[in-house]
Amino acid sequence: MGTITNLLTQSTRPRRQWGGYLNHGIAHFLMSSLGRFTGVRSFMVWLHRLETPQWTSSTGPTMVENVDIDDAARSICRDGFFPGLRLRQEVVEEFLSFCSTATCFGEAKAEFPFRYGDKSTAEQQAGRRFRRGMYNNALRSSHLLQALMSDTQLVAIARKYLGTVPVPIQARIWWSFPGPADSEEQRLAGQVFHYDIDSYRGLTFFFYLTDVGPSNGAHVYVRGTHMKKLWRDSFCIYKRRSDAEIDESYGPERQTLFCGPAGYGFAEDIFGFHKGLHPESGDRLMIQVGYGLHDYWNFRETWSTR
């Protein structure tokens, strides 16, 4: 009875979220509401694979150090992630150069623009502390990020895992800053356990552009939850869970912490439970690019036609 009551209570929290789903059309609404069920996801993947053209391996320069594509895909299928990626050093330096001169936005809001080196001044002028600095226009303004999104090695891993032609659905660069943060602030920053439904199957690549250890906002993933969740986690529309709930449901031994130097990266199916730790010291700069079966948000048109 307690579990059912908890589910009903949780399910009342994101009521406004349904309106957001409908704003992007009926196909997005159905994917967001039904895409939490493994059977539905598997069926939709099967349908997409029926339409897959014959695969021809692409070649060309890559911004990522070479990895075994098959090994990466097997790791993601088994665990939900592959931790063995690394940007080439010259690529890291180019991204850092871009991020030092491009305008980012406090809490991703247009009224709080600043350059990273001027963050303290911008916070004083805004009268508030920033938890995040988002490069809102990074994909349109950075040819480097566009090149990473179409990198032959990343696309090959995504193609192998998805079993169909990967469609770009997200790309962003952002800072996470240390400092006090209450539970709501951490929720908005993705610093509580949650899972995402951006497609019936998807794959996201993350790369650190700063050195990241346990105290610098390291990423955490709950191994295997991309394929199997407890029934209450699948049926409840509320997709966030507390640390205690994750520990009780899946055990702390299944939580993998991703730490590494600037350039370190990993691939992840974000349908599994994950979060970023809140930085205790040092600023964290991160890249995220993702692929799915279909672009439900008109992502490609949004950045390519402006």
Q: Torsions phi, psi of 105, nearest 5?
A: -130, 130
What was the pLDDT predicted at 182? 81
What was the pLDDT predicted at 288? 97
What distance in Å separates the CA atoms of residue 4 and residue 283, rounded to the nearest whole number? 41
**Average pLDDT in the 39-47 region?**
91
Q: Torsions phi, psi of 165, nearest 5?
A: -65, 120
Q: Tell how strand 81-86 and strand 274-276 pair up.
A: unpaired
Q: Torsions phi, psi of 57, nearest 5?
A: -65, 135
What was the pLDDT predicted at 160? 95
| pTM metric for this prediction | 0.89
Residue 7 has pLDDT above 70, yes or no: no
What was the pLDDT predicted at 24? 66
Using one digit for the tens of pLDDT, what is the confidence trace for 135-193? 998 999 999 999 999 999 999 999 999 999 999 999 999 999 998 888 888 887 888 99
Give the tokens for residue 144.
């480097």
Q: In terms of pLDDT, which residue wins out, 301 or 185?
A: 185
The pLDDT confidence band at residue 11, using thresholds 50, 70 and 90, is: very low
**Average pLDDT in the 266-288 region?**
96
Residue 13 has pLDDT above 60, yes or no: no
Please give the share of the chain, as a percent, with pLDDT higher than 90.
71
Domain 2-304: give its CATH code: 2.60.120.620
Residue 92 has pLDDT above 90, yes or no: yes
What is the DSSP track for the chain?
-HHHHHHHHHHTTTHHHHHHHHHT-HHHHHHHHHTTSHHHHHHHHHHHHHTPPPP----S--SB----HHHHHHHHHHHSEEEEEEB-HHHHHHHHHHHHHS-EEETT-TT-EE-GGGHHHHHHHHTS--SEEE-TTHHHH-HHHHHHHT-HHHHHHHHHHHSS--EEEEEEEEEE--S---HHHHHHTT-SEE---SSSSEEEEEEESS-B-TTTT-EEEETTTTT---HHHHH-S--EE-HHHHHHHH-GGGEEEE-BSTTEEEEE-TTS-EEEPPPSSS-EEEEEEEEESS-TT-HHHHHH--
Residue 19 has pLDDT above 60, yes or no: no
Residue ranges of domains in the chain: 2-304
The pLDDT confidence band at residue 10, using thresholds 50, 70 and 90, is: very low
Residue 108 has pLDDT above 90, yes or no: yes
What distance in Å separates the CA atoms of residue 160 and residue 237, rounded to the nearest whole number? 29
Residue 269 has pLDDT above 90, yes or no: yes
What was the pLDDT predicted at 4? 40
Using one digit for the tens of pLDDT, what is the confidence trace for 186-233? 887 888 999 999 999 999 999 999 999 999 999 999 999 999 999 899
Q: In terms of pLDDT, which residue wins out, 79 or 55?
A: 79
Residue 292 has pLDDT above 70, yes or no: yes
